[in-house]
Amino acid sequence: MNVPASLSPVPRAARFFLASGGLLGLLSVAGGALAAHLPDAMFATPSGRMLAREAVEMGMWHAPALLAVGILLCVRGRRVPLLLAGAAFALGVVLFCGAVGWTGVTGQHLGPVAPTGGSLLMLAWLLMAVDGLRR
């Protein structure tokens, strides 16, 4: 018996990426409010607020990307490039935004954490492109 797509269960990976995208959007809005309203003394350096805003902006740009991965998994089914892209988006945004935000607030650099996260984000976009070119 064929179940209409609208009634079929949402795959677990799709639910994870949809929930992650929603949570990342929430955290980005909250982080943006903090970056805008915290007193200057809460930032370790004069450029700390700018770094915090950069972390928030990158998080907000990648929240819809995670949502897109979840939606595409529902529409196209389980596809390796999509699964890898979602995982790279999720881990990359935590590493990049977390490290940049941490540096903005504390002034402490976390070494290669932010560049590793940024590299994962670029890989995720490449994997989305690869999946888009597949039949």
How many Å apart are CA 126 and CA 124, to the nearest integer?
Answer: 5
Give pLDDT tens digits for 19-65: 999 999 999 999 999 999 999 999 998 899 999 999 999 999 999 99
**What's the whole-number average pLDDT of the chain?**
92
| Residues comprising the chain, all counted | 135
| Tokens linked to 126 | 């490449």
Residue among 94, 86, 89 nearest 110 (CA): 94
Whole-angstrom distance, CA of residue 59 vs CA of residue 94: 8
pLDDT the model gives residue 5: 55
